Amino acid sequence: MIDANHVVGLLCAFGVQEGEAYESEGPQAAGLLPQRIIGMRNDRLVLLAPSEIRYAEADRNIVWLVTERGRIQAATRGLDNVERSLVPHGFRRVHRRFLVNLARVAELERGIKGELFLIMNSRAHEFVPVSRRHAPELRRMLGV
**4 pLDDT above the threshold of 70:** no
* Backbone phi, psi, residue 122, to 5°: -70, -30
> For residues 10 and 18, is the Cβ–Cβ distance under 8 A?
no
> For residues 50 and 35, is the Cβ–Cβ distance under 8 A?
yes
> For residues 65 and 71, is the Cβ–Cβ distance under 8 A?
yes
Q: pLDDT confidence of 47, banded at 50, 70, 90?
A: very high
Task: Please state the rounded mean pLDDT for residues 41-57.
Answer: 94
What's the pLDDT tens digit per position in 84-131? 999 999 999 999 999 999 999 999 998 888 789 999 987 777 899 999
| Closest among 56, 109, 108, 103 to 84, alpha carbons compared | 56
> For residues 17 and 83, is the Cβ–Cβ distance under 8 A?
no
- The confidence score (pLDDT) of residue 11 equals 45
| DSSP character string of 116-134 | EEEEEETTTTEEEEE-TTT
Task: State the DSSP code for 30.
Answer: T
> For residues 65 and 72, is the Cβ–Cβ distance under 8 A?
yes
Task: Please state the rounded mean pLDDT for residues 30-42.
Answer: 79
N residues, the chain: 144
